[in-house]
Amino acid sequence: MNIADFTSQLNLLFKHQVTPLVVGLHGIGKTSIMSQFCAEQGYMYTMQALGTKEAGDIQGLLDTRDGTSAFLPPVFVKEINTWAKNNPDKYAVLFLDEINHIHKDMQAVLFSALLGNQIGDVKMEPNVRYVAAMNPPTKDYPGVFDFRNMALVDRFCHIDLRPTVTEWSTFAKKSGIPDVWVDFYLATPQFLDPIGEPYDVFKKIKGSRRSAIKAAMLAADGASDELLEGIIGSAALASFVAFQKERDADMLTKDDILGRRSLLKKSEATIKKWVAEEQYGKLDALCASIKAHLAAMEPGTANQQDADRITDLVFLLPIDMAYALSLDLCKDLQAINMKFDSSCNKRFFDFWDKAIKSGKVTVATK
**Among 260, 271, 273, which residue's Cα sits nearest to residue 315?**
271
152: nearest Cα among 161, 160, 144: 144
* Residue 195: band (very low, low, confident or very high) from pLDDT cuts 50, 70, 90: low
Closest C-alpha to 210, from 133, 157, 267, 147:
157
- Please classify residue 64 by burial: count the beta carbons closer than 10 Å to its beta carbon, then call 0-12 exposed, 13-18 middle and 19+ buried: exposed
Note the pLDDT of residue 302.
66
For residues 306 and 294, the answer to whether their CB atoms sit within 8 Å is yes
Of 31-35, 110-114, 258-262, 285-289, the range with the highest mean pLDDT is 31-35
Q: Pick from 220, 158, 160: which is nearest to 19 by CA?
A: 158
d(CA 62, CA 343): 77
Query: Considering the chain, what is the average pLDDT of its residues?
Result: 81
The angle formed by the CA atoms of residues 264, 269 and 275, to the nearest 5 degrees, is 130
Residue 346's pLDDT is what? 66
Structure confidence at residue 8 (pLDDT): 94
Of the candidates 90, 163, 179, 182, the one whose C-alpha atom is nearest the C-alpha of residue 127 is 90
| pTM assigned to the model | 0.72
163 by Cβ neighbours in 10 Å (0-12 / 13-18 / 19+) ranks as buried
pLDDT per residue as tens digits for the range 267-317: 888 899 988 988 888 888 888 888 888 777 776 666 777 777 888 888 888
Evaluate if residue 16 carries a pLDDT over 90: yes
